[in-house]
């Protein structure tokens, strides 16, 4: 009996600790690895970031989402990291290297002019839908429960321009870069850009 009590005295705290760790990962935050160059210069390939599951998604938030079923080429358990440009009900368009949300030019100080203009082109949601075949032929605004996302490095990013919107239920969380990594400017371009 004494041995059982002694064993339980260290087993129970381990079980409780594991349960707390799983609960935090399931409901509070999770670590994510950035895969690829689509969020350069602000996030680098293989960079580790944190996705907060309860944070509110806003314009210019950087999010992690399950890409399987959103991007037809994404395999099961594939997460993408992208910047939210359009919220439900927004119009989104690109003209001469500038992004317009609800007919207002958005500030894109988080990327250079060449990153902003290379590969971006001139488009509306309707023209993207028509040229890439991802909608029902009538899209003029971001649908309810959906988000329009772009990578910061527009010329290499595989994003909403090519496969459509991200469903709210697919979002894992809002990305934050830990204070001990990256540079102050790059952290601010991820952590402080949302409005």
Please give the sequence-ordered ranges of beta strands (E in DSSP) within 47-153, or none if there are none: 48-52, 62-66, 79-86, 92-95, 98-101, 104-105, 123-124, 146-150
Whole-angstrom distance, CA of residue 161 vs CA of residue 35? 19
Q: What is the residue whose two structure tokens read 């910047």?
A: 83
CB of 176 within 8 A of CB of 64? no
Which of 2, 5, 25, 38 is the catalytic position? 38
* 82 noted as active-site residue: yes
* 112 noted as active-site residue: no
Which of 2, 9, 58, 82 is the catalytic position? 82
Residues belonging to the active site: 38, 82
């Amino acid at each position: 009996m004494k041995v059982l009590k002694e064993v339980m005295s260290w087993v129970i705290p381990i079980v409780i600790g594991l349960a707390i760790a799983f609960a935090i990962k399931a409901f509070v935050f999770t670590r994510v690895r950035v895969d690829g160059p689509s969020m350069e210069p602000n996030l680098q390939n293989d960079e580790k970031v944190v996705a907060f599951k309860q944070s509110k998604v806003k314009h210019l938030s950087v999010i992690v989402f399950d890409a399987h079923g959103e991007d037809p080429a994404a395999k099961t358990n594939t997460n993408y990291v992208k910047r939210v440009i359009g919220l439900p009900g927004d119009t989104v368009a690109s003209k001469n290297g500038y992004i317009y949300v609800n007919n207002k030019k958005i500030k894109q100080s988080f990327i250079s002019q060449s990153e902003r203009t290379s590969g971006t082109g001139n488009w509306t949601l309707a023209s993207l839908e028509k040229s890439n075949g991802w909608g029902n032929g009538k899209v003029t605004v971001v649908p309810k429960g959906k988000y329009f996302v772009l990578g910061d490095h527009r010329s290499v990013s595989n994003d909403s321009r090519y496969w459509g919107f991200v469903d709210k239920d697919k979002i894992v969380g809002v990305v934050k870069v830990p204070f001990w990594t990256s540079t102050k400017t790059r952290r601010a371009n991820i952590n402080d850009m949302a409005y």
